[in-house]
Structure 1
Amino acid sequence: MGESVRTTDGTGYQYTDNFDVTDEVKEQFDRDGFIILRNFLDTEEVATLRTTLEQDKTLEDNYYTRDDGEGNQSEMATWKHPVDDITGMIGRSDKAAGTVEKILGGEVYQYHAKVVMKEPFTGGAFVWHQDYGDWYHYGNLFPDMATVWIAVDRADRTNGCLQILLGSHQAGRLEQVKVGEQTGADPERVELLAKLCPLTYVQLDPGDALFFHCNLLHRSDQNHSQNRRWAYLVCYNRASNDPVYKHHHPNYTPLIKVQNSRIKECGIKTPTEGKLFFHGPKRERDPAMEVLERKA
Structure 2
Amino acid sequence: MARLTQRQIQNYQQDGFIIVREMFSSEETASLYQIAVSDQEISKHSYDLNDSTGKKTKLALWFTPGDDTYGLLTRTEKIVNAVNQLLEGESEVCHFHSKLMQKEPHVGGAWEWHQDYGYWYKNGFLYPDQMISVMLALTEATIENGCLQVIPGSHKLGRVEHAFSGEQNGADMRFVNESLKTSELVYVTLKPGDVLFFHSNLLHRSNSNDSDYARWSLISAYNRSANIPFNEKSTSCITPLKVVADTAPWHDAPTGKSASADFLIKDQDVTLKNF
- TM category (shorter chain) comes to over 0.9
> How big is the shift at 1:249?
7.1
Residue in 2 that maps onto 1:4? none
Alignment-derived partner of residue 126 in structure 1: 111
The answer to whether 1:174 aligns with 2:160 is yes
Q: What's the Cα RMSD here?
A: 1.6
Contact 2:64 2:95 in 1 (8 A): yes
Alpha-carbon distance in structure 1 between the residues aligned to 2:151 and 2:257: 37
User: Partner of 2:40 in structure 1?
Assistant: 57
Partner-residue secondary structure (3-state), 1:236: strand
C-alpha distance in 1, partners of 2:46/2:102?
Answer: 9
Q: Residue 138 of structure 1 aligns with which residue?
A: 123
The residue correspondences of 1:6-17 to structure 2 (distance < 5 A) are 17=1
User: Which residue matches 2:254?
Assistant: 268
Q: Which moved more, 1:267-276 or 1:250-259?
A: 267-276
Task: Kindly state the Cα deviation for residue 223 of structure 1 after the two structures are TM-superposed.
Answer: 0.5
Q: What is residue 51 of structure 2 aligned with on the other side?
A: 68
SS at match of 1:136: helix
CA apart distance, 1:72: 0.8
Report the alpha carbon displacement of residue 46 of structure 1 after superposing the two structures with TM.
0.4
- Deviation of the 1:273 alpha carbon: 5.3
Residue in structure 2 matched with residue 12 of structure 1 by the alignment: none
Residue in 2 aligned with 1:108? 93
Q: For 1:276 and 1:234, locate their aligned partners in 2 and report how far apart those are by CA, in whole Å.
A: 15
Offset, 1:125? 0.2
Q: Map 1:202-281; keep pairs closer than 5 Å.
A: 202-247=188-233, 250-272=236-258, 275-280=261-266
| Residues 202, 145 of structure 1: alpha-carbon distance in 2 compared, 3 angstrom cutoff | same
Assess if the C-alpha contact under 8 Å between 2:122 and 2:231 holds in 1.
no
Runs of 5+ in structure 2 lacking a partner?
none
Question: In structure 2, the residue corresponding to 1:219 is in which secondary structure?
Answer: strand
CA distance in 2, matches of 1:26, 1:277: 32
Q: Quick one: distance in 2 between partners of 1:209 and 1:247?
A: 29
Q: Which amino acid aligns with 2:79?
A: A
Corresponding residue for residue 81 of structure 2: 98
**Structure 1 unmatched ranges of 5 or more:** 1-16, 290-296
| SS class of match (1:78) | strand
| Comparing 208-217 and 246-255, the one that deviates more | 246-255
> Where in structure 2 are the equivalents of 1:40-51 lying within 5 Å?
40-51=23-34
Contact 1:130-1:217 within 8 A present in 2 as well: yes
SS in structure 2 of the partner of residue 102 of structure 1:
helix
Tell me the SS of whatever aligns to 1:195.
helix
Identity of aligned residues (%): 37
Distance 1:256 1:249, change over 3 A: closer
The CA distance in 1 between the partners of 2:254 and 2:47, in whole Å, is 24
In the superposition, the TM-score normalised over structure 2's length comes to 0.94
SS in structure 2 at match of 1:77: strand
Q: What SS does structure 1 have at the residue aligned with 2:20?
A: strand
CA contact (8 A) 1:149 1:233 kept: yes
Q: CA offsets per residue over residues 186-216 of structure 1, 9 Å max, x none?
A: 0111111111121000000011010000000
Offset, 1:287 = 8.0
For residues 155 and 233 of structure 2, the distance between their equivalents in structure 1, rounded to whole angstroms, comes to: 24
Within 1, Cα distance between the matches of 2:235 and 2:54?
Answer: 29
Question: Offset of 1:31 from its aligned partner?
Answer: 0.3
How far did 1:250 drift?
A: 3.8
Distance 1:203 1:92 in 2: 25
SS at match of 2:261: coil
Q: Contact 2:222–2:237 at 8 Å: present in 1 too?
A: no
Structure 1 counterpart of 2:69, one-letter code = I
Q: TM-score, normalising length from structure 1?
A: 0.87
Shift of 1:29: 0.5
User: 1:240 deviation in Å?
Assistant: 1.2
For residue 137 of structure 1, give the secondary structure of its aligned residue in structure 2. helix
Corresponding residue of 2:9: 26
Partner of 2:172: 186
